[in-house]
Amino acid sequence: MVIGAQKAGTTALFDYLCDDPRLNLSLEKETHFFDDESQNWSAPDYDAYHARFDLDRPGLMGEATPIYVFWPGSMERLAAYNPDARLILMLRDPVRRAYSGWQMEYARAVETLPFAQAIREGRARLAGKPPNHPDRRELSHVERGFYGAQTQRVLDLFPRSQLLVERAEVLRTDPDGVIARVCGFLGLAPPARTVAPRTVHAAARFNYGPGPSAEDESYLRDLYAADQTLLEILTGVTF
């Protein structure tokens, strides 16, 4: 299960893994099953989940829904479904991730605030709303970057040996190395052939205005500092 993070190379990783005949991935990249609030989670309809896969195909089964690591309840539901699941967490510099997430929603006209405002007073739009409020799916540019706290929740449910953490920046420059580590994590030999670097879900051509300022970056790095320390303690990953 590729559990996150959004805008951190999960689509590229999914595409690479789809090329491996030893794997049987979901028919669409994001099943959005374990974050589905319309499910009766006291008696979930796993048949609806299994319908997202070709059950007649051989291979180790998996999927990639990057909101899982962020959405409240998702990891608990996944742990109840399969406590032995192997989890892959793709991370990206949280400041770059925040800007990329903002770009996606701004281009879709879901986000109407400029980046500098969205990461500051724009966060007040989520204040007082429940953790699973729909607005948290689209306006959580800053919140999704608190990787340390999210990873801690994962490790409260799964042993560290079942979690592989990789960085989007490394997938972009060394896809062979990342795919080899993913295969080893899944108990498979590395692919017999190298993979060509690919870029997917690049930011749409759009007038976003000026990019993040030095003040924006400093503000976010200060905001993430304590959480980044926790992430390094838990995983060894730094940005």
Q: What is the CA radius of gyration of the chain?
A: 18
pLDDT for 48 beyond 90? yes
At 215 the pLDDT is: 98
Mean pLDDT of the chain: 95
Single-letter residue type at 223: L
Over range 90-100, report the average pLDDT: 98
Q: Write out the two tokens for 103.
A: 């770009």
Over range 107-121, report the average pLDDT: 96
Over range 160-173, report the average pLDDT: 97
Q: How confident is the model at residue 136 (pLDDT cuts 50, 70, 90)?
A: very high
At 201 the pLDDT is: 61
At 159 the pLDDT is: 98
Distance CA(105)–CA(100), nearest Å, equals 9
Q: Exposure of 61 by Cβ count < 10 A (0-12 exposed, 13-18 middle, 19+ buried)?
A: middle
Over range 142-160, report the average pLDDT: 98
Over range 39-55, report the average pLDDT: 97
Please check whether the domain covering 2-235 is classified as CATH 3.40.50.300: yes
Least confident of 45-54, 162-171, 195-204: 195-204
Over range 107-123, report the average pLDDT: 96
| SS3 sequence of the chain | CEEECCCCCHHHHHHHHHCCCCEEECCCCCCCCCCCCCCCCCCCCHHHHHCCCCCCCCCEEECECCCCCCCCCHHHHHHHHCCCCCEEEEECCHHHHHHHHHHHHHHCCCCCCCHHHHCCHHHHHHCCCCCCCCHHHHCCCCHHHCHHHHHHHHHCCCCHHHEEEEEHHHHHHCHHHHHHHHHHHCCCCCCCCCCCCCCCCCCCCCCCCCCCCHHHHHHHHHHHHHHHHHHHHHHCCCC
At 200 the pLDDT is: 67
Stated pTM of the model: 0.94
pLDDT for 72 beyond 90? yes
Q: How confident is the model at residue 204 (pLDDT cuts 50, 70, 90)?
A: low
Distance CA(181)–CA(165), nearest Å, equals 10
pLDDT for 192 beyond 90? no
pLDDT for 208 beyond 90? no
At 167 the pLDDT is: 98
Distance CA(33)–CA(43), nearest Å, equals 13
Give residue 60's Cα distance to chain centre.
20
At 203 the pLDDT is: 62
At 106 the pLDDT is: 94
Contact between 153 and 75 (Cβ < 8 Å): yes
pLDDT for 179 beyond 80? yes
